[in-house]
Amino acid sequence: MLAVCVFGNATAKTHDLYPSHEGGVIARAVSGAQAGDTLRLHAGVYQEHDIVIRKPLVLIAAAGDEHKAVIDATLKGSSIVFVRTSGVTMRGLVLRNVPVSYMNDNAAIRVEGAQNGTFENLRIDNALFGLYLATSANCHIVGNVLRATKGNESSSGNGIHLWRCDNITVERNDVHGHRDGIYLEFNRHALVRGNTSEGNMRYGLHFMFSDSCAYEGNTFRNNGSGVAVMYSRFVRMTDNRFLNNWGAAAYGVLFKDITDSYMAGNHFIKNTVGLYAEGVNRTKIEHNEFRENGWALKMLGSSSDNVFRFNNVIGNSFDVTTNSFGSENRFIHNYWSRYEGYDLDRNGLGDVPFRPVRLFSVLVEEQQPALVLMHSLLVNMLDVAERVIPSMTPEALMDVAPSMKPFEITTTKAQTAIRKN
Amino acid sequence: MKTIIKLTRYGIISAARSRWILGYTAFFFLASEGLMRFGGDTSKAVASLLNVVLLLIPLVSIVIGTMTVYNNRDFTELLLSQPLKRGSLFAGQYLGLALPLTAAYLLGVGVPLLARMGSTDSVTNAGLVLMLLASGTALTHIFTALALVVATRYDDRAFGLGAALLLWLMAAALYDGIMLAVIWTFRDYPLEMPVLAMSILNPIDLARTLVMLKFDVAALMGYTGAVFEKFFGTALGMSAAASALLFWVLAPFGLGMKIFAKKDF
């Protein structure tokens, strides 16, 4: 074995590893290495699993062998790598074939009770869970590609799974085909930024009981049920894209019991329901774009004190629905493509209020089969009549000064809005 | 049979000579061409055209149908004095009306839509366009047949035209009102199957449902959509829909024929 000084640390060594027929190469190297050593994996397939790391080590692919050093569990064991200590770094490796288990959460990389871990530029194929972090803090999960292909909701796991963690950064990952793309439960201060979560069986992003987390610039596309976000406070979702979540129970974003949160610069395009809000309170939703959704916004009566402003609501089948007669929320200065008012004083704001709830949407909310009458002459006439004299739609739910022109939803604008906020 | 063909040809020629059929074709052509050109997207164009088709085709078919029958009254009486079968006369009259109207619709809507169906368009879009064309054709035939019933039954022009318009209003709007009232009254019950049945009974509703199910809109409809899609996706459902439409052509046609055969001109 080659001993080389790295990082100017006199005691840290670098061990070069090559695949061997004997097997257990990595496990032996891990147990033989000193804390702070680097294991450099050269190209080839290492058939190993359940490698437990109990000291701070660096596992990387050798230069030029990125994504060529493969750790293949051959569908055996539970985890491939089990990190039980702080300061572990893994970079540039391929991990694959983690077996399905209905009892254990088998993961390509399982991390427990660790601080300052870095998991970067990894490729994880055909794993039950991809990266599974529990009771860890200050870790970075950056630039990984996770692909799962098999299974159904019950026989598959989450791509990036964070349980009871603090201050984790999940950035520029690409998750495809898992149950939930990115899953957070009981987290604090997580930053989820620039990820792509696509074609997952259930949710692209799923978090619960995770306060003070930020989600920026992610793309969630074509997931079974979109994105579901529950029981959290101080959530910030900015500049995300929620696209093509189309199905009987699919949502761009499902908000349930979310308080004191902020949503800006997001695009909701072609979802069955753009934003579904149940029990959402004191949340500001501004500078978002809702385009070509079935329902742009479904805000149930249990939501109150929310502000919905400066949003573009364009070409949706239904703009807003609710199941309540009152409105405890403030809708103001949004651009509604259905608005037919005028602006005589030319201040850019319509002079007559806009009521975004259609009579027909109230009927549909009450009895879904009524949807067969969508686009019928009668329904259109009823909507016009109702707009003039509201009788069944919540009279108070209105935008008193809608914008005449659509807003330009750009990242920078959202950023300014955030700063002002 | 010869009589039918001759009369049909007469109907087509006289329709081609009149300006309304040209205007009708031109309107559909401009509407679909414009929607395709400015909307750019086949499915969007079909969505916008759907309303036009569902409203205009029944209205134009029934109004033009009644008016033509009234205008041709003298000619019909002349023919009746000849040794011709009344059934053939009636059938010829029907086809002479329905065929030019159908041709006008298919040309006006079909040409711009199908011509622009590039390789970028999916099979779904092709199905959508075909469904729109098929349901428009069915509606033309249905409302022409209804027009013949009305015009044969009532000799008074004004009354006949009024009855025709009422029929159209029934099918286009009032029926939906009844449906809504039923849905609202029984909103606490599962209504998927009754609504399904009701939407099959009215040809305009049936046409709209068939086209809408070709859109993604089924997902919007949640459970209802699933029930509908499941029903119309099966051979049974499709044949139920087709036979409902066919019934709406044949029933008025038969009724009109019966009235025509017994009528004392």
Query: What pLDDT, on a 0 to 100 scale, did the predictor assign at position A419?
Result: 53
**Percentage of chain B exceeding pLDDT 90:** 43
Cβ separation B221–A272 shorter than 8 A: no
Between vectors from CA A44 to CA A38 and to CA A45, what angle results, nearest 5°?
95
Are B208 and B54 within 8 A, CB to CB?
yes
- The residues of B whose Cβ lies within 8 A of any Cβ of A are 47, 50-51, 54-55, 172-174, 176-177, 179-180, 183-184, 187, 191-192, 195-196, 199, 205, 208-209, 212, 216-217, 219-226, 228
Average pLDDT of every residue of chain A: 90
Q: Which tens digits make up the pLDDT trace of A328-380?
A: 899 999 999 989 889 999 999 999 999 999 888 888 888 888 888 888 888 88
Query: What pLDDT, on a 0 to 100 scale, did the predictor assign at position B221?
Result: 67
Cβ separation A248–B222 shorter than 8 A: yes
Inter-chain contacts counted by CB atoms under 8 A, chains A and B: 86
- Integer CA distances (angstroms), A404 to A29, A63, A312, A331, A335, in order: 67, 57, 11, 15, 6
Q: How confident is the model at residue A414 (pLDDT cuts 50, 70, 90)?
A: low
DSSP 8-state symbol, A168: -
Q: Which tens digits make up the pLDDT trace of B102-120?
A: 999 999 998 888 887 765 5
Q: Which helix (H) or strand (E) holds A412?
A: helix A411-420
Using CB atoms and an 8 Å cut-off, which of residues 196-255 of chain A contact chain B? Answer: 246-250
CA distance A113 to A52: 13
Q: Which tens digits make up the pLDDT trace of A174-230?
A: 999 999 999 999 999 999 999 999 999 999 999 999 999 999 999 999 998 889 999
Q: Which tens digits make up the pLDDT trace of A226-257?
A: 899 999 999 999 999 999 888 778 899 999 99
Q: Which residue of B has its CA nearest to A292?
A: B44
Q: How confident is the model at residue A8 (pLDDT cuts 50, 70, 90)?
A: very low
Please name the residue that has the structure tokens 């969630």: A220
- CA distance, residue B222 to nearest chain A CA (Å): 4
Q: What is the largest CA-CA distance in chain B?
A: 62
Q: Which tens digits make up the pLDDT trace of A12-30?
A: 899 999 998 888 999 999 9
Q: Which tens digits make up the pLDDT trace of A123-155?
A: 999 999 999 999 999 999 999 999 998 677 788
A169-171 and A191-193 strand pairing:
parallel
Q: How confident is the model at residue A6 (pLDDT cuts 50, 70, 90)?
A: very low
CA distance B8 to B14: 10
Are B46 and B234 within 8 A, CB to CB?
no
Tokens, residue A192: 């989820």
In chain B, what are the helix, strand and coil shares in percent, each to the nearest 5?
85, 0, 15
Domain layout of chain B by residue ranges: 2-262
Q: With a threshold of 0.80, does the pTM exceed it?
A: yes
Checking if the pLDDT of A67 tops 60, the result is yes
- Integer CA distances (angstroms), A142 to A64, A119, A160, A348, B123, in order: 19, 6, 11, 43, 40
Of the partner residues B55, B199, B217, the one whose CB lies closest to the CB of residue A377: B55
Q: Which tens digits make up the pLDDT trace of B44-69?
A: 778 788 888 888 999 999 999 999 99
Q: Which of A5-14, A38-47, A93-102, B30-39 has the lowest mean pLDDT?
A: A5-14
- CA distance, residue B46 to nearest chain A CA (Å): 12
